[in-house]
Amino acid sequence: MNAVPFKPKVYLKEGCPFSFKLLVFLAETGITGQVEVIRCNAEAPEFEAIKSTLQAGLRKPATFPAAEIEPNRYLSDSDALLEHFASKNDVDIGGLPALSFYLQTIFPQLLRLHEEGRNDRGSLAGRPAGTPRRGPST
């Protein structure tokens, strides 16, 4: 009887700059074929079930990206996941031009927008309906 080898499951949240960082790494190194990439849409009905599964496996609130790296062994945090997959595949992270480009140019901008979005969502509760998030642009 042939057992099917375990394929790590990588959970990437749509719109998340940290998830995209991991995806860039996986694609540039060719590791995407070694993992099952699971796109997570926060608006999808199954999103809460995915988060619950991750939370149980991580033993803490789910964050993205996350991965089941071995059967019933979960890991989250994009840097920790990059290190895990890099060491497992003998990859020098500093030698990846696409990842370096993303981290040095695009990621900081996305991170600012991501943080602004989080701050805006937190302040929406007290804002009357129809009130713009920001004043008019100049």
Three-class SS state of 77: coil
What single-letter DSSP state applies at residue 73? E
Over residues 7-29, the mean pLDDT reads 97
Span 81-119, pLDDT tens digits: 999 999 999 999 999 999 999 999 999 999 998 888 878
Asked whether residue 138 is domain-assigned, the answer is no
27 located within any domain: yes
Residue 17 domain-assigned? yes
The answer as to whether 16 is a domain residue is yes
pLDDT given at position 118:
75
Number of domains present in the structure of the chain: 1
Q: What is the pLDDT of residue 121?
A: 67
Tell me, what's the pLDDT at 123?
Answer: 53
Cα-based distances in Å from 37 to 1, 61, 74:
27, 20, 14
pLDDT of the residue at 117? 82
Identify the domain containing residue 82 by its residue range: 9-119
Decide if 128 is inside a domain: no
Residue 65 located in a structural domain: yes
State the Cα–Cα distance between residues 125 and 133, nearest whole angstrom. Answer: 12
The tens digit of pLDDT for each residue in 32-85 reads: 999 999 999 999 999 999 999 999 999 999 999 999 999 999 999 999 999 999
Q: Is residue 122 pLDDT above 70, yes or no?
A: no
Domain-located, residue 132: no
Indicate the pTM of the whole model: 0.82
Domain of 78, CATH number, reads 3.40.30.10
Examine residue 126 and state whether it is found in any structural domain, yes or no: no
